[in-house]
Structure 1
Amino acid sequence: MSTGASVVLLTGAASGIGAATARAFADDGWTVYATDVRTEFPADIPERCRCLELDVTDSEQVEAVVDHIIEEAGRLDCLVNNAGYGVAGPVEDVSSDDVREQFDVLVHGPHRLAQAVLPEMREHGGRIITVSSVLGHTASPGLGAYSAGKAAVESLSDAVRIEVAGADDIHISLVEPAWVETGFADGALESLRDADRTPTYDRTYDALEDGWVLTGGPLATTPEAVAATVLAAATDDPPKARYPVGAFATFVRWTHWLPARLQDPIHRGFGRASALLGRWL
């Protein structure tokens, strides 16, 4: 039976951007299905949302969760792909297994979910929103594997947007923050601890561990700002294809149009300068 309220399925909702987004949708009157591979949600989330376990790398679980929501709520109006994590390190030093596992979450997860929700949305309309990153446009030294995953999901989302355009009331949007004040950096740094390090990349590792490449330092935005942007993508009429979050994200995104001979020194210089500042501050 339909709940009457609009219904959103949100992945990666146990912390950071996901938890903030769950709160934003709940505040706006949506029925929120907050999901995560972990089942430990902040105390207020189960009070306001319907919490489910969901591993986006498990095709059977993806289908089961989507079927459960449609059966229980009677509809599914919005999917927010937020689940993700970062593997840090120079591309030469990151293992293929780590890259493959990250792609399974960042790229194959949204693909599985799109396949699961599109038949329902084709009947009644709906929106698919993916929390990406400006790194999907512009790679950063030490985050090449993560940038590649975000670039892939950007292309995937663009293709779906073009494929569904005009035929159905389905809209696809990308939300593109730069740095956000979450546990992302801690998780990415964890991936560095056991890495075999090629000495050539000492400066890259310094930028990751001491600089702002992972955290953004004072340039980072809040999870709440990203959540507000996701909600805008879910409610704007019509929605935009892309939503950069904040002025700095817009700036980083547009540096993509610079020639490589200008882009590359900017990225190298940012990491090195922020590492020096990180030691002083």
Structure 2
Amino acid sequence: MADSQIILITGASDGFGHLVAEKLLAKGHTVYATARRTDRMCDLQDKGAHVLHLDVTNTEEVQKVVDQLIAEQGRIDVLVNNAGFGQYGVVEAVSEEQLKYQFDVNVFGMHRLQQAVLPHMRKARSGKIINLGSIVSHVSAPILGWYASTKHAIKGMTEALRMEVRDLGIDVVEIEPGAVRTGFEEVAFDALDKVQAPSDYDTVVKGMTNASRNMYKSAPGPERTANAIVTAIEASRPRAVYKTTTDSHILPLIKRLIGDHRYGAMNLWMARRTL
């Protein structure tokens, strides 16, 4: 077993975060599992996790959690920046309020955690930051535009941070899954239902919604992605990027091969086939 590490995970109430926490606890690591819904982490607490409430949009709460971890453990070895959600809807119809909240959670939430942990990692000249990216940091599709934009932002930021801290003993890793059944999809589709789009978009919204639901029915569960995160945590020299599903490997390659216009036409054709 790898040496025990002190690990902070955001968004650990379900999905990747919850499963990763379980796997790390089973390996003997010290896990601080955080989320807004602490009631969903009672099983993690029973297994030895330090369960803390954390809203990643609240800067003071982020700092309080990191301060508590440092006070209790003296160091932080790994940050798993996992908290995030999908705001689906056509670009025109998503409101400014919805868009700001999407970025506040997915992008600025990561920034808050990184700012809180990096001073400790720099002082120790050691640490890992693992950011949850996505296939949609490379490709986008109808109704995914604003969610994809947050993942594009995460990719750009993660690449820069990796270079900035390279000589400080800190590794920065991006995890890039494609479609995975974690419960994320239902939250995203619920968000889509709250977006009032003009009727001109009915065909593309209905088609893409049907296509996405069909895709998730055959999508893998979170196991492979969770294993990749654990591998990155325990590796002495982790890879910069872990692509964890078949589509995360294939779709960016297809886009590069056929070009933007044909890739867009392919997406629309697939969506219309479901009508």
CA contact (8 A) 1:87 1:102 kept: yes
- The alpha carbon displacement at 1:51 in A equals 0.5
Same amino acid, percent of matched pairs:
36
The reply on whether 1:249 has 2:248 as its aligned counterpart is yes
Indicate the SS of the match to 1:147: helix
CA distance in 1, matches of 2:227, 2:153: 24
Distance 1:5 1:211, change over 3 A: same
Q: Contact 2:141–2:264 at 8 Å: present in 1 too? A: no
Structure 2 letter corresponding to 1:51:
V
Match of 2:55 in 1: 55
Letter in 1 for 2:110: P
Q: Distance in 1 between matches of 2:129 and 2:272?
A: 37
CA offsets 1:142-163 (integer angstroms, 9 cap, x no match): 1101000110011111111111
**Count of residues in Structure 1 that have an aligned counterpart in Structure 2:** 270
2:5 is matched with which residue? 6
Q: Residue 199 of structure 1 aligns with which residue?
A: 199
Q: Extract unaligned runs of 5+ from structure 1.
A: 277-281
TM-score, normalised via structure 1 length: 0.91
User: 2:151 aligned with 1:173, yes or no?
Assistant: no
Q: Distance in 1 between matches of 2:234 and 2:103?
A: 29
Q: Is the 1:138–1:255 contact (alpha carbons within 8 Å) kept by the matching residues of 2?
A: no
SS of equivalent residue, structure 2 residue 34: strand
Output the CA distance in 1 between the equivalents of 2:214 and 2:118: 34
> Conserved in 2, the CA contact under 8 Å of 1:185 and 1:214?
no
The RMSD of aligned alpha carbons is 1.7
Deviates more, 1:120-129 or 1:207-216: 207-216
In structure 2, relative to structure 1, the CA distance for the partners of 1:183 and 1:225 (3 Å cut) is same
Query: What code does the residue aligned with 2:174 have?
Result: L
Whether the 8 Å contact between 2:210 and 2:271 is mirrored in structure 1 is: no
Instruction: Output the TM-score relative to the length of structure 2.
Output: 0.93
Task: Give the equivalent residue in structure 2 for 1:279.
Answer: none
Preserved CA contact (<8 Å) 2:78 2:127? yes
Match of 1:135 in 2: 136
2:73 aligned residue: 73
Q: Secondary structure at the match of 2:39?
A: coil
1:160 pairs with 2:145: no
Q: Which runs of 4+ in 1 moved over 4 A?
A: none
CA distance in 2, matches of 1:46, 1:200: 49
Q: One-letter code of the match for 2:134? A: S
- One-letter amino acid of the counterpart of residue 27, structure 1: A
